[in-house]
Amino acid sequence: MLRLYTHPACMGHDPGPQHVERPARLQAVLQALDHDRYAALDRVEAPRATREQLLRVHDAAHVERMLAAAPGEDLLWLDEDTAMSPGSLEAALRAAGAAVAAVDAVMAGHDQRAFCAVRPPGHHAPRDQAMGFCLFNNIAVAAAHALAVHGLKRVAIADFDVHHGNGTQAIFEHERRVLFVSSHQSPLYPGSGREDERGVGNIVNATLPPGAGSSDFRELWDGVLLPRLHDFRPQLVLISAGFDAHQRDPLADLRLGQEDYAWITERLLQLARAHAGGRVVSSLEGGYDLTALAASAAAHVGVLLD
């Protein structure tokens, strides 16, 4: 069984009609999953993340700033890309809370796998600020929860978003219990993710040049990232599921198709079956062409469900 965590509040984060990280993204994903093929999804309303959960990965000043910052009618711009609308705080709390609840569910054995269809995304947010469309780092909150509450010793985060998850890397670069592996286009925002950025041996970055396609992506994961994940023997596999390496995406220059997302999902499921009792939690990150996002997310969820 696969649990699907989402919440209507995640539609309420609205950074403006011209912004690429718009409510229609989540609507496209949920519509793609509103099909007989996905009838077996166990649909669960995402709870809010608590202050305690957020403080495991974010500075108190950042958490308090976000909790106090909910604007009135106008947008509050936190950086040149990242804005808060009146509904943004509730959306961000539900997005982070979804990932925490998903970890609890898979660790309790209710379901082996979960997908969090939420926004705003999270992997660019470091400890002390919002950035890159991200308010809280959802996947990092989930990983820290797994360590603190469930006592895990080895948690893996696999990030295949086209942009490097700089926030996730910065949060865990000194935490040996977390292995962070990422494939991403370089050069590209946010400019981090060089292959010599290794943390304490727990960071593995693998870069793809503009124009790289399916074979390059698969060779990178099969040859570099998946072997490191297997060597780590994670007790839980977390996925930062960004679909913006798709060839249709307007923010990058890679040439993946939805079949590549099905392929990497199956590879990560094999990893989880081998080492983690099949436990996987995936959370939506990027993807800005609505057609490509819907098809890619559906392919990802289809493999998780099967």
Average pLDDT, the chain: 97
Report the CATH number at residue 255: 3.40.800.20
* pLDDT above 90 as % of the chain: 97
Statement: residue 73 has pLDDT above 80: no
Q: Which residues pair with 5 in a beta bridge?
A: 44, 116
Statement: residue 1 has pLDDT above 90: no
- Total tally of structural domains belonging to the chain: 1
Catalytic position from the list 7, 13, 123, 124 = 124
Statement: residue 111 has pLDDT above 90: no
Q: How far is it, in rounded angstroms, from Cα 205 to Cα 180?
A: 8
Statement: residue 219 has pLDDT above 80: yes
Statement: residue 122 has pLDDT above 80: yes
Confidence (pLDDT) at 259: 98
Calculate mean pLDDT across residues 49-78: 93
CA nearest neighbour of 268 among 305, 237, 228: 237
Whether 62 sits among the annotated catalytic residues: the reply is no
> Token match 């041996």: residue?
201
Taking only the tens place, the pLDDT of each residue in 137-176 is: 999 999 999 999 999 999 999 999 999 999 999 999 999 9
3-class DSSP string for the chain: CEEEEECHHHHCCCCCCCCCCCHHHHHHHHHHCCCHHHCCCEEEECCCCCHHHHHCCCCHHHHHHHHHCCCCCCCEECCCCCEECCCHHHHHHHHHHHHHHHHHHHHHCCCCEEEECCCCCCCCCCCCCCECCECCCHHHHHHHHHHHHHCCCCEEEEECCCCCCHHHHHHHCCCCCEEEEEEEECCCCCCCCCCCCCCCCCEEEEEECCCCEHHHHHHHHHHHHHHHHHHHCCCEEEEEECCCCECCCCCCCCEECHHHHHHHHHHHHHHHHHHCCCCEEEEECCCCCHHHHHHHHHHHHHHHHC
Give pTM, 2 decimals: 0.98
Q: Which two tokens stand for residue 20?
A: 């690429």
Calculate mean pLDDT across residues 187-197: 98
Taking only the tens place, the pLDDT of each residue in 233-275 is: 999 999 999 999 999 999 999 999 999 999 999 999 999 999 9
Confidence (pLDDT) at 227: 98
Domain of 207 in residue numbering reads as 2-305
Contact of 252 with 163, CB cutoff 8 Å: yes
Calculate mean pLDDT across residues 206-232: 98
Q: How confident is the model at residue 40 (pLDDT cuts 50, 70, 90)?
A: very high
